[in-house]
Structure 1
Amino acid sequence: MPTYVFKCKNCGNKFEQNRSIKDESEVLCPKCGNPSEKIFVPVPIVFKGSGFYVTDSNNSKNSAISSSSNGEGSLSIESAKCPAAKKGK
C-alpha cells in the first residue's frame, strides 16, 4: 500500500498514513481528531544511463561546430542556427 502525507485542516499537523489507492474515506488527525487533507509530495526522479546529457549526444553537426583545428574557423551557436547571421560575418 502507498504512503500518503496528510495535513490537519484545524491544527496543521502533518502525518503519514498507509492507505489503499481506492480508499476515499475521511482521514482524521491523530492529534486533535479533526478532518485532514491529502498533500501532494513530489517524488525525486533519478535518470540513470546514457543519453541524458548534452555531452552524450553523438551528433556530427554539433561536433563539427564545437571542434576546430585552429579556432579561427569555428562558428558560434547563434550563427550556426541562423543562416542570415552567417552572411553578415
Structure 2
Amino acid sequence: MSRRGFIKRSLLAAGMALAFGGLSASALAEIGEPEKEELKFGFIKLTDMAPLAIAYEKGYFEDEGLYVTLEAQANWKV
C-alpha cells in the first residue's frame, strides 16, 4: 500500500468513526429508564466472574441506578 493510499484510507476510517460515533451517542441519549432496577446475578466462583465483582465493589451498578445482588452458585444448574 502506498503512503497516499494509507492516508486516504485513514481519513476515510476517521470520518466514518466520527459520523457513526455521533449517531450512536444520540441514540443512547434517547434510551429511557431501565425496565428493572433490582437485578440478581448468579455466578460460579471462577475468574471470569471478576468483572461482575469489581463493578459491584466499585459501585458501578448503583451509579447507573441499578441495585444488584450477586449470588454464588454451586454449578450451572440453577
Shorter chain as normaliser: what TM range? under 0.3
Q: Which has the higher helix share?
A: 2
The answer to which structure, 1 or 2, has the higher relative contact order (CA under 8 A, 6+ apart) is 2
Alignment TM-score, normalising by the size of structure 2: 0.22
Q: With structure 1 as the length reference, what TM-score do the two structures score?
A: 0.21
Q: Which has the larger radius of gyration?
A: 1
